[in-house]
Homo-oligomer: A and B are copies of this chain.
């Protein structure tokens, strides 16, 4: 059964929800057996359903995820997440997904942008907030 954007949006929401709830059986059911997870900023890669379950379940710290916005089409999608570690600051994660024809997740690409100082020479073009 070919999936559509609405089904893939529901899978994205479930991915976040099950991770936040630490419901690893339900989390794993969303994943293709050969799922590939990548963090391009660190060049880390995890291959396989049970390996991605383990990577996420064992990720250290009292982390919490909340879905801020998401978009999808019939093949892929993206989520912007608010991530909190304990009572600390909120970080932003941006997660891209690819789905197979059955709606299982085949690729996850995580981006974790961090604060930095603006380059010189554009201070006259933008305000700081």
Give the A interface residue count (CB, 8 A).
Answer: 45
Instruction: Give the number of times this chain occurs in the complex, counting copies.
Output: 2
Task: Determine if A42 and B94 form an interchain contact, defined as CB atoms under 8 angstroms apart.
Answer: no
Q: A44-B126, A77-B71 are in contact. Are A94 and B111 (CB under 8 A)?
A: yes
User: Of B41, B47, B77, B115, which is within 8 A of A115 by CB?
Assistant: B41
The distance from the CB of A58 to the nearest CB of chain B, in whole angstroms, is 6
User: A94-115 toward B: CB 8 Å interface, digit per residue (1/0)?
Assistant: 1010000000000000011111
Question: What residues of chain B lie closer than 8 Å to A44, measured between beta carbons?
Answer: 118, 122, 126-129
Whether A21 sits at the interface, judged by CB under 8 Å, is: no
Q: How far is the CA of A96 from the CA of B129 in the complex (A)?
A: 18
The distance from the CB of A82 to the nearest CB of chain B, in whole angstroms, is 12
Q: How far is the CA of A41 from the CA of B73 in the complex (A)?
A: 28
User: A117-129 toward B: CB 8 Å interface, digit per residue (1/0)?
Assistant: 1110110011111
For the complex of A and B, 4 pairs with smallest distance between CB atoms: A71-B71, A44-B126, A113-B113, A42-B118
